Amino acid sequence: MMRTTATLNDSVDATELTDADILDAMRHIPGYLDITTEDFRTIYQLARRHALQRLFADITAAHLMRTGILPVHQALTLAKAARQLADSGYKSLPVVNNDGRVVGMLTETDFMRQLKVKDFMALLLQLPGESVALTAQLHEALVSAAMTQPVMSISPDAGFMEIMSAFGQHGGRSMPVVDADGKLAGLLLRLDFFTAYSLSNRS
């Protein structure tokens, strides 16, 4: 399991002001400024960090995650996992081991990779002549062999910047939220996060 380590500090500092940016800004301020470009940069970063903390203080994984998610067990066959995924209504589900710890994610892309097709249309084209073989693959392969790992996960108290950094590090549509023991607490959807971000920006 790969937990995100990004901090608010790291994310804010990623947007660096150049000396040219600072000098241009200072020219637009009337009067004499007894301040260096480095002092200006420090004040800017502290002010921006404070503003982000204030604006997004209520956006945490615990507030945004979907609960009541039934994870997939790593020992299931892909055939049974496919039914569970379809019934869930999600495009991917967390995978757990015997201890209930999240060890991976099972996505629609994982199924495509296991069946050696590049996309859904390619799968449809194979169905008329190879449906028996494809079905056999799903009944023989286990989730543990097809799942995406290591899994990118976050803790329930992860804040806005940490969530944004985590989604930036992988292209998945969802991400498991796990407790200190690595057990599933909920599922955070990229759509839910960006919806919350958009609403916060309007307020």
pLDDT recorded at residue 184:
97
Chain centre to alpha carbon of residue 100: 20
Q: Cα–Cα–Cα angle for 125, 128, 130, nearest 5°?
A: 90
Q: Which amino acid is at 51?
A: A
Q: What is the pLDDT of residues 108-124, one digit of tens each?
A: 889 888 877 766 655 54
Looking at the fold, whether 108 and 139 belong to one and the same domain comes out as: yes
**What's the CATH code of the domain at 117?**
3.10.580.10
Please tell me whether the peptide bond between 156 and the residue prior to it is cis, using omega within 30 degrees of 0: no
Looking at the fold, whether 96 and 34 belong to one and the same domain comes out as: no
Residue 142 DSSP code: B
Last residue of a domain, one of 55, 83, 99: 55
Sheet holding 92-96, edge to edge: 72-73, 92-96, 102-107
Q: What are phi and psi of 94, to 5 degrees?
A: -65, 150
Looking at the fold, whether 191 and 116 belong to one and the same domain comes out as: yes
Location of structure tokens 């009944």: 139
Looking at the fold, whether 51 and 71 belong to one and the same domain comes out as: no
- Assign 201 a pLDDT band (cuts: 50, 70, 90): low
Domain count, the chain: 2
Tokens standing for 133? 């073989």
Looking at the fold, whether 27 and 68 belong to one and the same domain comes out as: no
pLDDT recorded at residue 68:
95
Looking at the fold, whether 37 and 107 belong to one and the same domain comes out as: no
Looking at the fold, whether 111 and 198 belong to one and the same domain comes out as: yes
Q: Give pTM, 2 decimals.
A: 0.69
Looking at the fold, whether 65 and 42 belong to one and the same domain comes out as: no
Tokens standing for 73? 């067990």
pLDDT recorded at residue 138:
82
Containing structural domain, residue 21: 2-55
Looking at the fold, whether 8 and 67 belong to one and the same domain comes out as: no
- The DSSP line for 48-79 is HHHHHHHHTTT-BHHHH-B----PEETTSBHH
pLDDT at 50 over 50: yes
Looking at the fold, whether 33 and 86 belong to one and the same domain comes out as: no
Looking at the fold, whether 112 and 190 belong to one and the same domain comes out as: yes
Looking at the fold, whether 47 and 147 belong to one and the same domain comes out as: no
- Assign 10 a pLDDT band (cuts: 50, 70, 90): very low
Last residue of a domain, one of 55, 71, 91: 55
Last residue of a domain, one of 55, 81, 99: 55
Helix (H, G, I), strand (E, B) or coil at 40: helix
- 103 and 95 Cβ atoms separated by less than 8 Å: yes
- C-alpha distances (whole Å) from 55 to each of 46, 49, 110, 190, 200 are 14, 10, 37, 19, 7
Q: What is the pLDDT of residues 62-88, one digit of tens each?
A: 999 999 999 999 999 999 999 999 999
Name the residue among 134, 130, 188, 202 with its Cα closest to residue 159: 188
Q: What is the pLDDT of residues 14-26, one digit of tens each?
A: 456 788 888 888 8
pLDDT at 172 over 50: yes
Cα separation, 71 vs 88, in Å, equals 10
